[in-house]
Amino acid sequence: MTEDAFGARRSPLFESTADILRSNIDSGTLKPGLVVQESALSERLSVSRATVKRALTLLAEEGRLCRFDGRGYLVAGSDQPLRQDLRAIDLDLDQFEESAGKPNWLRIQEEMEADLARCLIFGRYRIIESLVAECFGVSRTVVRDVLGRLQERGLVTKSSTSRWVVEPLTAHRFRNKFELAAVLEVAALESAEPNFEALARLSADIRCLPQDGPADPELWFELEGRFYDLAILSTANDDLAEYVRSNRAALRSSQRVLFSLGLPPDRQTLTEQGMIVDLILARTRPAAASMLSTHLGNALKRTIAQLKIVSVIDPPEDLAPYLQAG
């Protein structure tokens, strides 16, 4: 599950698509041996072929689908191709209603956010407008609108030649973002109007984390998200909260990429955030603000250390087709 720039927790569209297909395979609606192709599923689910492709790749890695000599995949369990019109199969789409009911531009924006997050730490990438339009089956006007929204969130920028690019999150950029966080987030905490009962539950949940073994990434994001919702984003200054969210967007996206590459979630971050929560609960707001500043400095050091570890890793081979390195 990923988070958008405003801290709302959601699954990328390709994961939601994979969930729907997985459920229909497990229930037998998509029968063993059924030929599954991108184009038909894209039309049936009203999502892009790129989304379907990533979902099918994920299910193939799980063993629920397998390649065969023809185009597409076979549902695992039979090597005899069964050809049916996927558009006519009565799929169970109950879990998909939330994503399917979103405006087209919003679904594209959410999927692009997930795509961009995967390349943030691997270098500079150019976004090819025409390929985005082709990938999602929309006009370039829609693409430019989405890219403009992503630019407002700090995930893309325009080069001197007016080309859309994704700039890498280098150590220098991480420092800039954490320095900005130290200003914005401390100010937000100082003016926050927290729910003390909810903060007490968060403190208890952090203390209950098992001390042995790696933390679960989804639990890490859930607890970290609750910390920001309750301790920082409860500020009455809406403009300040929006700046905090925007600055956090790329940091959270890059953290998810680091987790996906095998780096374990940082327990110390949750420990330090728990200490901040306890200081707020003790009504010692200045001490909580000071601890938050210390925490952000520590988090920067840990993040740069993680960045050095993954600097020798090659970027994923299945990045979105509209991303061009260099």
Domains of the chain listed by start with CATH number: 2-79+88-100 (1.10.10.10), 104-169+313-325 (1.10.10.10), 171-310 (1.20.120.530)
CA distance 213 to 303: 20
CA distance 112 to 218: 21
Per-residue model confidence as pLDDT tens digits over 126-164:
999 999 888 877 788 888 988 988 887 778 889 888 899
- pLDDT grade, residue 95 (50/70/90)? low
Burial of 220 from C-beta contacts in 10 A (0-12 / 13-18 / 19+): buried
Three-class SS state of 165: strand
Beta carbons within 8 Å of 303's beta carbon, 6+ residues apart? 174, 178, 251, 254, 255
CA distance 21 to 75: 10
Identify the residue whose tokens are 């405003």: 6
The answer to whether residues 288 and 227 touch, using CB atoms and an 8 Å cutoff, is: no
Find residue 100's DSSP bridge partners: none
| Positive or negative torsion for Cα 295, 296, 299, 301 | negative
Most confident of the following: 9-23, 247-261, 297-311: 297-311
pLDDT at position 74 over 80: yes
